[in-house]
Structure 1
Amino acid sequence: MELIKKHRDFLVYCLFGFMASVINIIVFNTSHNNLKITLWLANTVAWLISNVFSFFVTKLYVFKTELGDYKMMFKEGGYFLASRLFSLLFDDFFMVVAVLILPLNNIVIKIIDQLVVGLFNYFSSKWIFQYNNRSILERIKRFHSK
């Protein structure tokens, strides 16, 4: 029981990360395989939709922080999406290269991709939402408001 309490954030993040990955895979599959949208664009749209979902559940249920006012929510949302731009670049690059090179189904590749991206996203989300990092975020906000 102590082990579960110690790693609660990670375990809850895995649950919601799994849900975000399922959303990502469904949107990708529908966009690329059914609607015939190009691989890169379908992957990017899937990333955006799953990350908007992920922002809210990560903030509210994983790290248990309040939404705050709209201004704060949009700023945090901006930081959240900015922190995930690296994962988007990796995600797009990996999907395009792997689908072209590996003889695997694009959904199998997307699942592998989501596992790797999910680990990176956990650590970047933890940095943004953990209370002890608020002072860093406040300094960034003050710098940008000057």
Structure 2
Amino acid sequence: MILRPPRPADAMQITAIHAEGLTTGHASFRAEPVDWDAFHDAYALALVAEEHGTILGWSAVAPTSTRDTYAGVGEVSTYVAAQAVGRGLGKALLSRLVADSEAAGWWTLVAQIFPENHASLALHRHVGFDVLGTRRGLGRMTHGPVAGQWRDVIFLERRSRVR
């Protein structure tokens, strides 16, 4: 497996992995998977995990604000294809994203994760994110198996150790 920056040719696989995660109802409030233009525009730094020409996961960081005072603060997203779950890809991707983000000057990374997404919570804690609290009833789900339900979100943060 190699970790590398995404290319336009990866677009269909990135979208498919995102769509797969969204169908669980525990990955995002987002109803539609990201296409290449939205992916490329939203994320300032991204990686894919490729094995034998197949993209098996991706991790990326998006700025939390355009305001200068928040430069270096980003929100992370990590998705792993169902066929690759349990192989350590999420850990490899997020660990590398953290290292690359620090090298690029990001000083704080945040994540917002549904409480039911135990694997994602464990992954983020493993790479140094701390739980800051729970945002109760942050939003109402519009799609999937929990459509119509108000959802809590666990808010996590990781401060750079090299800033």
TM-score (norm 2): 0.25
Determine which structure has the larger strand proportion and give its number: 2
TM-score (norm 1): 0.28
Determine which structure has the larger helix proportion and give its number: 1
Whichever of the two has the greater Rg, that structure is 1
